[in-house]
Amino acid sequence: MSADAPRLFDVEQVRQDFPILHQEVNGHPLVYLDNAATTQKPQCVIDALVEYYSQYNSNVHRGAHALSDRATAAFEGARRTVAKALNSPSPKQLIWTRGTTEAINLIAQCWARVHLREGDEILVSMLEHHSNIVPWQLAAQAAGAKVKPIPLNEAGEIDLDALREMVSEKTRLISVAHVSNALGSVNPIDRICALARDVGAISVVDGAQGIAHYEVDVQALGCDFYAFSGHKIFGPTGIGALWGRTELLDAMPPYQGGGEMIESVSFDGTTFNGLPYKFEAGTPDIAGAIGLAAAFDYLNQFSREAIQAHEAALLDHCCTRMAGIDGLRRVGNAQHSAAVFSFLVDGTHPADIGMLLDQQGIAIRTGHHCAQPLMSGWSIPGTARASFSLYNTLEEIDVLYEALSKVLTLLR
């Protein structure tokens, strides 16, 4: 097989790439179904981190020695790798951040606080993670603007007709998730971004979940900003990125002051560096960027269509099996959904389900999933959530079904 040929997607072989999966928890083989919170790391990502720290650990840029040259080459090579994966016109449009949260806060501080005026409106959907609500609230409060929620339909999808009615000359920014972390709903990003463009508003995409399941083409989406976290796509924690349109990034003031983001400093004034460094004050997460590029390289071995087909099969199998449990209902049933299954069971609390499943070695997530407005709007306390990734198997869903049946017998 040539170096450029895609690797055959075989889930059992894929699982061998992830060392953490091969252990027992509470005397049972680990079944890890909490991928929407964070994904596990393949050995090649772990190796990339170890190689950096053990062979060429050094600060980047301006170093006068070999280790710094190697670190800089790997660091900027990582930027090119990730930018190419997003189909960015230029690597300079990719800003390293700590993750989606910091990326959205950067836009809120450096674009929204500059451009918002009293009476302006920011539109965010009822699906959003708190990280895509609170920064806009802070920016709006400072400017006298308003944050308005875009309603959903009963399936947990953004109501596009309602959004069209909301969009007006007051709309300055629309910010939505590519994929809901709580429900798995896949939003029609290209259509939403087009609505923003029609009124001269800025579009922001929270891609924390989207990047994990789908190929992302920022040019095809037509967004102005796309934010994501590395740990959702098999990379390290503490690293992520913000992609933005060049003209917007150029016009924005810096996010933080310090080293690297300057061109010159004097007590008479400071001039700032160009993109992307204007937004990367201080020593960056060099190892994290290198590890994130390794994660993208790992994914690039496979056909993304094959991975999506595998994840769709997992979700279909889960829906079929869970339909056999009395009193269980799926929360959210979008026509287009990523591999996320949120559910409630009559007469049981999600936290109790999660605790008892853990005793059987099964890791799921319970609670409001940082989506309290969604849960409050639907008058539920939260959900139990099983979220799947490329290394999960149909057999693991069968294990979940059997364990959940046992749990509900104990709780009822």
Which residues are catalytically annotated? 370
The answer to whether 104 and 135 have CB atoms below 8 angstroms apart is yes
Instruction: Give CA angle at 151 (146, 154), nearest 5°.
Output: 165
- Please give the Cα distance from 182 to 377 (Å, whole number): 13
Cα 88 to Cα 8, 176, 372, 402, 412: the distances in Å are: 27, 20, 33, 45, 53
- Please give the Cα distance from 55 to 349 (Å, whole number): 50
Would you tell me how many other CB atoms lie within 10 Å of the CB of residue 234? 27
**Given its phi and psi angles, is residue 202 left (phi above 0), alpha (psi -120 to 50 degrees) or beta?**
beta
Give residue 71's Cα distance to chain centre: 26
The answer to whether 68 and 52 have CB atoms below 8 angstroms apart is no
* Nearest by Cα to 63 from 71, 75, 74, 53: 71
Burial bucket for residue 233 (CB in 10 Å: 0-12, 13-18, 19+): buried
- Please give the Cα distance from 360 to 213 (Å, whole number): 27
Task: Name residue, tokens 């098999």.
Answer: 234
3-state secondary structure 96-127: EECCHHHHHHHHHHHHHHHHCCCCCEEEEECC
CA dihedral 206, 212, 217, 221 (to 10 degrees): -40
* Nearest by Cα to 206 from 351, 51, 102: 102
SS3 content of the chain, % helix, strand, coil (to 5): 45, 20, 40
* Nearest by Cα to 116 from 101, 93, 94, 135: 135
Element of type H or E holding 93: none
What is the DSSP-derived secondary structure letter of residue 24? E
Cα 64 to Cα 258, 335, 390: the distances in Å are: 21, 56, 42
